[in-house]
Amino acid sequence: MPSSGADHVLIVGAGAAGLMAGRELLRAGKKVTILEARHRCGGRIYPLPTSKFGYAAEGGPEFIHGEAPWTRSLLREAGLEISPIEGVRWTLRDGVFSKTDSVAPDTNRLFETLAALKADLPVAEFIERHFSGSRDEELRRVILRMVEGYDAADPARASAFGLRDEWVGRGLGNHGRVRGGYGALVEFLAAQCRRLDASLHLGVTVKAIETSAGRIIARCGGGRSFEGDAAILAVPLPLLTRIELPFSAGQNAALSTGMGFGNVVKFLLRFTERWWVKAGGNDLADLSFLFTDRAIPTWWTQYSAEHPVLTGWLSGPRTRSVMHLGEADLVELALSSLAETFKIAKLKLERDLVSARAINWGNDPFALGAYSYVTVETREIQSLLRSTNSDNIFFSGEALYSGRDVGTVEAALASGFETARTLV
């Protein structure tokens, strides 16, 4: 275990985990230097200009899921409020719109089967063993929507135990958005770190971590370097193997490839009006989420706010087919998918489009994906990565979190706090 002799801690990454860890260490009287490759704080929390979309739109995480105690506590501390998710979920299948049941058929049978599992296995194998019959078609669709859509995971790698831990006994309510966006929470944490005299450096890419005479040295692009007594790597999972590390820490970081890290392409389209409200002869004024069988399978609105913005979500293995597309082509794909979904002329959508973004997190060099998911190997690897080692280098972030709020801002905050406590 490290001692309180680690008086100066280098933190690589100014996302939610890094800022949370920094604040706790500063409160404990440590000297903290935070090194962030982007020219902003937040990492995968990515606020978009209000001028572009008419509200605090999110290019990254948008929702608060479930209890999220760390998130909600910080929001109260920052004086930020939560907007509940309102409206109706709709499904489009075979050209027919219908309201989505809050509980999918046979969900209890799925949960009972998961609860009875004695040994972990990949979700794809779990489906094949237990739900391969013709009567299970809808249940298979539900499972894959959970795994590929919500978790951005590959069913061939995702853990059935992970699915069970995340979903069994979890209510669908109590979800919301941060009023003002997650960016406001990042600003609060960053301001607290600065107020406590953190040394925060933006636009600094850490290339290597070295040890010398009991000191930690971060070698950065442009020939810059920073020294401390310990280092916390609070970066997205794929980047752990992109930073050159001392032998022991490097061995641990290499294990991270056995964990899951999914991709998301998020689309935001602002129009002149909420044209979908009466599209196709349906009354969709209360539309919250729309689940489809089209190229972009999931859309949502900002209901009950009447912003003329649709957000699209493409995640998991399905993103592989669009990795070669640039942002303009992705926007074209989104418009084509909407035109097909709502049986509306694409030309009209193009004419009414005010602004658009398509963010492919897999092509972001400082993320290389969206968020982690649990594989059969994840829990064992997490335990090893969270354990201390002689290099005095520690790993933190949403991928290191072992609770049920996998892949969320809550996971990042919880992990950042936990990592900081090991150094206090």
pLDDT confidence bin for 107, thresholds 50/70/90: confident
102 pLDDT band, cuts 50/70/90, is low
Instruction: Give the count of beta carbons closer than 10 Å to the beta carbon of residue 62.
Output: 19
**Mean pLDDT within 280-308:** 95
How high is the pLDDT of residue 118? 96
Ordered alpha helix ranges (H), 196-296: 247-255
Q: What's the pLDDT score for residue 106? A: 78
pLDDT tens by residue, 20-48 = 999 999 999 999 999 999 999 999 999 99
Distance of CA 77 to the CA centre of its chain: 23
Burial class, 108, CB count within 10 angstroms (exposed 0-12 / middle 13-18 / buried 19+) = exposed
| 422 token code pair | 């090991």
In angstroms, the CA 276 to CA 140 distance is: 29
**Average pLDDT estimate for 65-91:** 96
Query: What are the residue ranges of helices labelled H in 35-136?
Result: 50-53, 69-78, 107-115, 123-130
Is the CA virtual torsion 98, 99, 105, 107 positive or negative?
positive
Chain segment 162-177, per-residue pLDDT in tens: 999 988 766 555 789 9
Q: Is the pLDDT of residue 4 over 60?
A: no
Q: Looking at the predicted structure, is the pLDDT value of residue 67 above 50?
A: yes
Phi, psi angle pair for 174, to nearest 5°: 65, 30
State how far the alpha carbon of 1 is from the alpha carbons of 4, 254, 322, 393, 416, in Å: 10, 21, 45, 11, 17
Q: What is the tens place of the pLDDT at every residue in 183-237?
A: 999 999 999 999 999 999 999 999 999 999 999 999 999 999 999 999 999 999 9
β-pairing verdict for 371-373 and 353-360: unpaired
* Helices and strands, counts by H and E, the chain: 13, 20
| Residue 108 banded pLDDT, cuts 50, 70, 90 | confident
Counting residues of the chain whose pLDDT is more than 90, the rounded percentage is 89
Q: What is the pTM of this model?
A: 0.96
pLDDT at 255: 96
Question: Is the per-residue pLDDT at 258 higher than 80?
Answer: yes
Lowest mean pLDDT among 241-250, 278-287, 397-406: 278-287
The pLDDT of residue 100 is above 90: no
pLDDT higher than 80, residue 63: yes
The rounded distance, in Å, linking the Cα atoms of 300 and 304 is 11
Question: Which of 29-38, 128-137, 343-352, 386-395 has the lowest average pLDDT?
Answer: 386-395
Q: Is the pLDDT of residue 101 over 50?
A: yes
Q: Which helix (H) or strand (E) holds 93?
A: strand 88-93
Listed range (379-388, 391-400, 402-411) with the worst mean pLDDT? 379-388
Position with higher pLDDT, 418 vs 4: 418
- The confidence band for 238, taking pLDDT boundaries of 50, 70 and 90, is very high
- 215-220/225-228 β-pairing: antiparallel
pLDDT given at position 58:
99
For the segment 383-393, the average pLDDT, to the nearest whole number, is 85
